[in-house]
Amino acid sequence: MGAEQCMWGVCFIPLDVNGQKFFGFSEFLAGLALMVLAWTIADVRYRFRIRSAPIPLQGITFSVVTSVGVLTLLTDLWRAEQWLVPKGDFLTPASWQAILGGLFLLTFLTWTWFAFIRPPIYGRHNSENYAQTLYRFILKGSSAELAVIADELSYSAQALVRYATDRDRLEYHRPEREDKGKKTLQKVEGYANDLILLIADKRLCRAIVQSSPGTALALFQAMADMKKHAIQIETFAKNIVHEALANKDSFLYHETEGYESGLIGYHKPLSQAMFANYQMVETIGTLLDPDIYGKRKWDAEQWEAYCRMVLMTFRSYVNEGGVSHSFVLYRAKGYIENAASDLDTLNELASAWDSDLYNRLRIVVEFVKDAIKILDEKGVPDHLHIRVRENQGHMRETFYDHIASMIFELIFHASQVRSPRLLCWSIQHSSLWGKLFNYEDLGHAGKVVRFKVRRLLYDEIVEMKRFPNFKAAKILGFCLNVMGLTIRQDGGDKESQPLQRAVLAWTRQNFLWLHQQNPLIAEACLFDGFTFDIENRRIVRTYPAQGLKLEPSYIYLALDPAPIDSKGEVVNIVSTHQSTHNRKSHSKKTRSSRKNAYRV
């Protein structure tokens, strides 16, 4: 070791070349190699975490590693050249190496902490970093990376919902109102609102459905727990449902029933979180709105999944009282009733029992039955109006009326199948009328709905006296087909007999008049197996010879002659029933018992 040198009261000694060395440039290079290896093999998950950390971890890591590398290199050079260092115990060579090694280790541990131990979630300190990082990954749109990012979002779901702003409060804080002294949103709230809109990207929603349904579960559960239903989640909710319906391996197809899916089928965690809270579904507004173009391509399995969604919301709506009008359920009712609107394409087909369209009709009928059972479980309210007249407006209508209207539309769709006879009977009676009117007891609620359906059918038929039209003609043909031309004497179909008597009476009195007014409309009333015997003034239903029947059989409905005026022309007047109906609409009536209310 060289001689000691002093200058201005400070003494310097050469650095001992043989002194203790435990963190030099060679050790730094070995540690750096391990860090580079860790950074290289880290996938998108850990890169996302590092970039979204509340501190600029990448910049800090680069600065510290560079500084420590330069200082260790200079330290080794200083030692090799035995250059002078200050004499004293305040900063020894060992403590200097410990400081450099500690900084290097601390940098690695900080990186490991944010990447593995405590991943950063969205908050006040990293809102901008988190938003910018997520924006870049979604903008890139890599399906493999989005699958990982979708899972990472689940950790920040509660924070995003907590900081997001309700729509009404967001309207209060619009930028154009700032000049009036309104308080602006905090940065963490503004970025949360942007992120709620950002995650609505269809590619990310597809990744969530495929790879990370727990993210959607976390978001909707957070909304339910915090009772924050009015954040800007409507686009995300709509896209999640669209992607789930399009992907037949999604939760909508696995969360069915326990005997099909086991424990998940009993719990239905994600379906319950999304659809079993009516207030949340109504406030969001888009959860039950299918893609207007995509639903045209849905098959029976997809419609069945959609019906399960709607029934969960409908059950919640009924359990909460079902007093106010539900816009989302009313729209959903319209979508479902049109699922089988193209039944007319089955005309003339020899076999359609295994077709997708036939299955769609079956699913819609099952939906109607399940909806009626839900109403029956709750019980028919005492204040329910059994019959809502047009002059009373739509404000008195309830879901009993909506379901009745749905059945009416299904009947109209089914009435467009006119032939062949067996297919017509299978669709109209076996798959529709029999399931809703004859074969099953749907309880007290079912009686109310059936009464309303019968009124709708009869009112539509008698409207032909004032305005003959093809829709009413098909409805009449449906009624003649499913109920027959004669009244059963064995006591069967008791609930349908009042409507059958009324329809047969109207047909008997007005069919000849209708035929003389418009033969095409009259012809539309007769499906395959029905003919009009104009000479004998009767409608004939023919049962062809088949099986053990060697000869065809016939059933007749005799018709009354059309009214003729003094000039020998057919009288075109409003029917007696219509006139009576108009007079009765202005009179006060009381219901003495609920039994009498179910008559046509």
Q: Bigger pLDDT: 466 or 577?
A: 466
Q: Comparing C-alpha atoms, which of 315, 167, 150 is closest to residue 234?
A: 167
Please choose, from the candidates 198, 174, 201, the residue with its C-alpha nearest in 3D space to the C-alpha of residue 185: 174
Residue 569: band (very low, low, confident or very high) from pLDDT cuts 50, 70, 90: low
Which segments within 458-566 are labelled E, that is strand?
A: 530-533, 538-543, 553-558
Q: What is the pLDDT of residue 503?
A: 96
- Residues forming beta bridges with residue 85, ordered by sequence position: 13
Nearest to 479 by CA among 461, 452, 459: 461
Model confidence pLDDT, tens digit, residues 160-200? 999 999 987 665 555 554 454 455 789 999 999 999 999 99
pLDDT digits (tens, 9 = 90+) for 101-125: 999 999 989 988 998 899 999 999 9
pLDDT in tens, 497-511: 999 999 999 999 999
Q: How far is it between the farthest Cα atoms of the chain? A: 147
The pLDDT of residue 397: 84
Per-residue pLDDT at 83:
85
Give the pLDDT band (50/70/90) at residue 548: low
Cβ neighbours, 10 Å, residue 174: 9
CB 360 within 8 A of CB 339: yes
pTM metric for this prediction: 0.85
Q: How buried is 340 (Cβ within 10 angstroms: 0-12 exposed, 13-18 middle, 19+ buried)?
A: buried
Residue 4 has pLDDT above 80, yes or no: no
List C-alpha distances in Å: 423 to 396, 437, 477, 524. Answer: 38, 19, 15, 17
- In this prediction, residue 2 carries a pLDDT of 57
Of the listed ranges 76-90, 190-204, 359-373, 574-588, the least confidently predicted one is 574-588
Between the alpha carbon of residue 75 and those of residues 23, 29, 102, 494, 555, the distances in Å are: 10, 14, 15, 104, 113
The structure tokens listed for 130 are: 């988190």
d(Cα 344, Cα 454) in Å, to the nearest integer?
A: 23
Q: Is 286 helix (H, G, I), strand (E, B) or coil?
A: coil
- Rounded to whole angstroms, the Cα distance separating 449 from 431 reads 18
Sequence-separated contacts (24+) of 396-402 with Cβ below 8 Å: 398/322, 399/314, 399/317, 399/318, 399/322, 399/326, 399/329, 399/371, 399/375, 400/375, 400/445, 400/448, 400/449, 400/452, 401/452, 402/330, 402/333
Query: What is the structure's pLDDT at 168?
Result: 73
**pLDDT category, 218, cuts 50, 70, 90?**
very high
Whole-angstrom Cα distance, residue 189 to residue 162?
Answer: 9
Q: What is the mean pLDDT of the chain?
A: 86
Which has more confidence, 167 or 212? 212
Neighbours of 388 (CB within 10 A): 19
pLDDT in tens, 430-465: 999 999 998 778 899 999 999 999 999 999 999 999
